[in-house]
Structure 1
Amino acid sequence: MREKLGFLGILWLFLMFNSSFGRFVVEKNSLKVTSPESLKGVYECSIGNFGVPQYGGTLIGTVVYPKANQKACKTFSDFDLSFKSKPGGLPTFLLVDRGDCFFTLKAWNAQNAGAAAVLVADDRIEPLITMDTPEEESASADYLQKITIPSALVTKDFGGKIKKALSNGEMININLDWRESLPHPDECVEYEFWTNSNDECGPKCDSQIDFVKEFKGAAQILERKGYTQFIPHYITWYCPDAFILSKQCKSQCINHGRYCAPDPEQDFSTGYDGKDVVVQNLRQACLFKVANESGKPWVWWDYVTDFAIRCPMKEKKYTKECADQVIKSLGLDIKKIDECIGDTEADVENPVLKDEQDAQIGKGSRGDVTILPTLVINNRQYRGKLDKGAVLKAICSGFQETTEPAICLNGDMETNECLENNGGCWQDKTANITACKDTFRGRVCECPVVQGVKLVGDGYSHCEASGALRCEINNGGCWKDTRGSQTYSACIDDHSKGCKCPPGFKGDGVKTCEDVDECKEKTACQCADCKCKNTWGSFECGCSGNLLYIQEHDTCISKDVKSEVSWSFIWVIILGLAATGAAGYAVYKYRIQRYMDSEIRAIMAQYMPLDNQGEVPNNVIP
């Protein structure tokens, strides 16, 4: 035991020495006090590394500071205290003091007392820290995975101000906002999962394996459809030069002390060694590399899940032979994976593990990875319970608003704000069209595209169709009415916008178009004998007595005159046609007769001389 503690102490000091050059980033969310006026403003608070932070959302509540059990290290039922909000009341945020027990126990006791969130006031003046789960020796408490309320650490100064305001009888309303806790720049979320193949590290290992099994389906859906880019990572350390030849480093490291992991059972005399864990971690990293190159990175989830089931340390199956059986069953190339792993006994660098060590160092807004397991989403470290629902909520908050995949808008994740009063957005109940769209962070009022036609407007008070075919969608938002078989519309089906009442109507073209009475306005049937009758959208003109209305000339004429004129005109046409026919026939006969006469004379002239011709000599052949 002394040997184990001695080496772990050396390793711990070494890690602390290395981390002093790194950077641990405390992930924060926004805390906004809306009342009283004396505290109104935005304050920083750090997200606890347990519970379920409401990534992408907000939570509004009122603050309560308990009269007893102010450090929340005991159950509040012992003090007959309850913080469950009454129907119609705001949720309760319980303020407790730091000290005397684990942060997780404070949150658990607050949750059991009905609090919706717990605020922990620091007991010292210092920069905010990340509230983490207990060390391994105390991590076996079964309540750890049951904490669901979010938690936040606030500064000692701010906690004191809250207590003072409450003692003065003031009501403190707070809005906890996680909407900007994770960046959400585009339609694809990039996330890393820093994990370990070790399954003998107690409750943390068990919860990690359970998470992989539960999250596998969602992860593969997101990856297959291109919504996410996922990379698994593994933490390793190197052995200090002074201890490379020691028994401890030889059993916990590969490649001559370059890549090390702690002993799984923290006991060098039994079970597997740290170097076994490093080799298996390397195998998983290489498997992902080969699977990714073949266009199937999601197979990593299948391998890790199957390996945990088929090759556990407890059954002494944590071996290469068992791993190869799993790899073979998944149809991956074992030879390529072995080539990637390389010689773990050689005194050389391993390219894959070297990259893993480099990736541990924080870049940009991301701090160093020092906690296992850790999720990094859009280059920001996730804080909270390692749970399928909580992690999926965090990943979904990384999508640009309105681009979330369907898996982010299922019954458990969707905000459903459009169900109440249509979210305050525009809608056309008749056409069943709405501008309200549920997103992961809440609703947005955005004019939709319907049947390929884009509706334009502010999304709140109006949306109208635009472009070609706009009249096919809700008639372009214009007036339209049908009476009998006649339909009139104020929409013009072209690229124009707006609405205009058709001829025969007047109005705004949107809500109303009223029939114009052309008869009253003296715009039709204006001749002396004309009679005007108004119709819907038009008019009819007639004449009194035995008169006929001529629309082209807006005049009335006698029906009898028209008849006489018509028959006289017809007889003139008939006689004209007859005369023309007779004259044509006479010309025809005359021309035919002359033609025939000339032909006959020509024939006869060939055989006998005519009176006007002389004798033809015998030697002349006709």
Structure 2
Amino acid sequence: MELPGSEVVGLFLGFLLLSVAPRSSARFVVEKNSLRVTSPDKIKGTYDSAIGNFGIPLYGGSMAGAVVYPKENQNGCKEFSDFSVSFQSKPGALPTFVLVDRGDCLFALKVWNAQKAGASAVLVADNVEEALITMDSPEEDSSSAKYIENITVPSALIEKSFGETLKKAISGGDMINVNLDWREAVPHPDDRVEYELWSNSNDECGVKCDMLMEFVKDFKGAAQILEKGGYTQFTPHYITWYCPQAFVMSKQCKSQCINHGRYCSPDPEQDFSTGYEGKDVVLENLRQLCVFKVANETKNPWVWWDYVTDFQIRCPMKEKRYNKECADGVIRSLGLDVKKIEKCMGDPNADSENPVLKEEQNAQIGKGSRGDVTILPTLVVNNHQYRGKLEKGAVLKAVCAGFEETTEPTVCLSIDVETNECLNNNGGCWQDKTSNVTACKDTFRGRVCECPLVDGVQFKGDGYTNCEANGPGRCKINNGGCWSDSRDGHSYSACLDFGKSKCQCPVGFKGDGVKTCEDINECKEKKACQCPECSCKNAWGSYECTCSGDLLYIRDHDTCISKHSVETKSAWAAVWVILIGLAMAGFGAYLIYKYRLRSYMDSEIRAIMAQYMPLDSQAEIPNHMNEERQRNRDDRHWGLAAVDLMFEVFTAG
């Protein structure tokens, strides 16, 4: 049966939602806390109230306050600042509990508006006479997500009749004091707290997925301390659905389910045509369950927290790494047996029940006081569903409330829940045991795998399987991960600080430069000592050539020559050096002689010419000398001719 794409998606998701508690009638249990009125006397007593599924209930504790009912904005759907109303209690006064009416907007929005106005707790009066329900957080959108995660005050829903009683007393001028008590919200039947987290490996479902992932990372350190000390028993769970029999062979069921429609999960993008499919999510959920089972068999169940946080970091959907190959890499880094986990997972294509997932579907059905699990994520403590925000401090209070007073472990009495996870198997991170360099860093949230900075050298890599030193100085740290060796007082290294190749065998060796560099036998490979008189002897990383008789080997020319000829050539070379030196000295002396002779002639010529021609610097001759100058004019021509002749004679010499 084929239907249009959008109708099939809507219909199929509808069936999935209807089949949350397979083959049974769903039963949702409302978790309650105690609300006790201490004054006035006419309404004094204890009343039921239902814990809200957001904010931070004070599990294991109690809170006293005075109830107020606003004259305006009584349903709390608008900001109280618009009405100039503040619920901030004065110093020394009891905290303010704001009473608002149900209806017209989301429960969470009412509580958020009251919190912003200064309320310490919020009571919501039902507007119909019915059994109490749990005030759930809405499906987050861009607007509600901004305030849901920031709600920190506790809230509770009260019955309509009790709400009317409170309003009547307030209008009559009575001061109403109440006490909210969460001390018995979590039972404590024995000295060990049992708790479970119902979650999903899908990381592309919006705000709720982001909130769950952040909680797992934050809570991991405290959870592992409690588990290693034997104080708690933690069990992870995953919700799956079954495909209705009429749709088992449909394209949609085949893409969202495994084991012929028995175990399904909605498409991460709610689009059957692209991206990851629901069956991808089911398989990873199954893998995480088997990781817990295999780790539990080795008495290390807390390794589940390491696997889940590492998988979120290394194998996200948005980077297209949400797959078996990436998951197996995480499993190996934690020292778990991949084959055992694969055996636990079974065959997803088999037309039969999967024991692990079948057990999960049965666990979804409420037993005793817990009720069916229908909301993701859900935390269950001592068989009671936790109500409130998934936040490290709040959840730790709820878990610790499961211990009898004075029997709780020290981790419940202190905010110090840190533990150095790098001490055990290096936290599953990369480590170079040779140089004792590790990518494991211990933080208050647990360990992180991050390539280190060592002596100014930055390592780069994913931090889990590899980290490599980069840049100048890398060869100083474990030889940059390259080959190196020393023999007979000689050391060689294949490490290069720069260049395309980081590891390259030095001259005289061959190999990959990382694990091996083998000596090249230059003699055997006929790369040296090719002359007839040569004799070759191989050495590690080099070679040695000798010549027969009194011959001398010249390495640059790969030849042998007579030592006598070398000495003769050396003598003639010395003679030639002396001769060339004498020639250069004579030529230099000649140049100096020519220069000095020319300077002397210039001075003599200027003296002779000064007698026949006045220089520009001489003063004008008086007029009575004109006749004498005229008589000598003819003589000047003869003098100039004589000067010219003399100049030619000297320059010719």
Provide the TM-score with structure 2 as the length reference.
Answer: 0.62
Confirm or deny: 8 A CA contact 2:67 2:176 kept in the other structure. Answer: yes
Q: Of the candidates 5, 9, 33, which is equivalent to residue 4 of structure 1?
A: 9
- Per-residue deviation at 1:3? 3.2
Q: Which residue of 2 aligns with 1:72?
A: 76
Inter-partner Cα distance in structure 1 for 2:315 and 2:188? 38
- Distance in 2 separating the partners of 1:139 and 1:248: 32
Shift of 1:10: 3.3
Alignment of 1:383-402 (within 5 A): 383-402=387-406
Out of 156, 159, 162, which is 1:155 matched to? Answer: 159
Contact kept, 8 Å, 1:140 with 1:203, in 2: the verdict is no
Give the aligned partner of residue 327 of structure 2: 323
State the distance in 2 between where 1:380 and 1:15 align: 19
Residues 340-393 of structure 1: per-residue CA shift (max 9 Å, x gap): 001001101111001101111111111111111111101111000000000000
Is 1:250 the counterpart of 2:275? The answer is no
Q: Distance in 2 between matches of 1:270 and 1:395?
A: 41
1:96–1:19 distance in 2 versus 1, CA, 3 Å: farther
- Go from structure 1 to structure 2 and tell me whether the alpha carbon gap of 1:106 and 1:172 turns closer, same or farther (over 3 Å shift): same
1:208 maps to amino acid = L
Structure 2 residues not aligned, in runs of 5+ = 1-5, 418-653
Tell me how far 1:23 sits from its aligned partner: 1.2
Question: Corresponding residue for 1:195?
Answer: 199
The separation in 2 between residues aligned to 1:208 and 1:195, in whole angstroms, is: 8
The answer to whether 1:62 aligns with 2:31 is no
Map 1:515-534 to 2 at 5 A.
none
Does the CA-based 8 Å contact 1:139-1:204 persist in structure 2?
A: no
Contact (CA 8 Å) 2:32, 2:48: kept in 1 or not? yes
Alignment partner for residue 110 of structure 2, among 106, 111, 117? Answer: 106
Aligned match of 1:170: 174
Q: Report matched runs for 1:348-427 at 5 Å.
A: 348-410=352-414
8 Å contact 2:290–2:345 — kept in the other structure? yes
Alignment of 1:111-126 (within 5 A): 111-126=115-130
* Partner Cα separation in structure 2 for residue 78 and residue 123 of structure 1: 24
What is the rounded CA distance, in whole Å, between the counterparts of 2:321 and 2:202 in structure 1? 12
SS in 2 for 1:51: coil
Q: Which amino acid aligns with 2:15?
A: I
Distance 1:294 1:15, change over 3 A: closer
Pick from 85, 88, 95: which aligns with 1:91?
95
What is the letter of the counterpart of residue 116 of structure 2? N
2:20, 2:240 within 8 Å by CA — same for their partners in 1? Answer: no
Distance 1:411 1:212, change over 3 A: closer
What's the CA shift string for 1:209-267, capped at 9, x where partnerless? 00000000000000011111000001101111111111111111100111011111111
2:17 paired with 1:36: no
CA drift at 1:4: 2.1
Q: Structure 2 matches for 1:471-550, cutoff 5 A?
A: none
SS of 1:146's equivalent? coil
Q: Which amino acid aligns with 1:169?
A: G
Q: Alignment RMSD, CA only?
A: 1.5
The 8 Å contact of residues 369 and 383 in structure 2, kept in 1 or not, is answered as: yes
Count of aligned pairs = 412
Aligned counterpart in structure 2 of residue 337 of structure 1, from 338, 341, 345: 341
TM-score (norm 1): 0.65
Q: Do 2:19 and 2:242's aligned partners in 1 also have CA atoms closer than 8 Å?
A: no
Write out per-residue CA displacement over residues 379-431 of structure 1, whole angstroms, 9 at most, x where no aligned residue. 11100000000000000100111111111111599xxxxxxxxxxxxxxxxxx
Matched ranges for 1:533-612 at <5 A: none
CA deviations on 1:100-138 (whole Å, 9 max, x unpaired) are: 111111111111010000000011111100001112446
Q: Given residue 259 of structure 1, which amino acid in structure 2 is its aligned partner?
A: Y
- State the SS of the aligned residue for 1:157: helix
What is the CA–CA distance in structure 1 between the aligned matches of 2:117 and 2:402, rounded to whole Å?
A: 32
CA distance in 2, matches of 1:128, 1:91: 25
Instruction: State the secondary structure of the residue aligned to 2:363.
Output: helix
Aligned equivalents of 1:11, 1:187: Cα separation in 2: 39
Q: 1:210 to 1:226 in 2, by over 3 A?
A: same
- Residues 270-285 of structure 1 correspond to what in structure 2 (within 5 A)? 270-285=274-289
Q: Which residue of 2 aligns with 1:223?
A: 227
Report deviation, 1:13: 3.9
Judge conservation of contact 1:253–1:278 (CA < 8 Å) in 2: yes
CA contact (8 A) 1:65 1:163 kept: yes
- Report if the CA contact (8 A) 2:243-2:257 is conserved: yes
Q: The residue matched to 1:23 in structure 2 has which SS?
A: coil
Counterpart residue identity of residue 58, structure 1:
S
Whether the 8 Å CA contact 2:55–2:153 is kept in 1: the answer is: yes
- What SS does the corresponding residue of 1:129 show, helix, strand or coil? coil
Gaps of 5+ in 1: 414-622
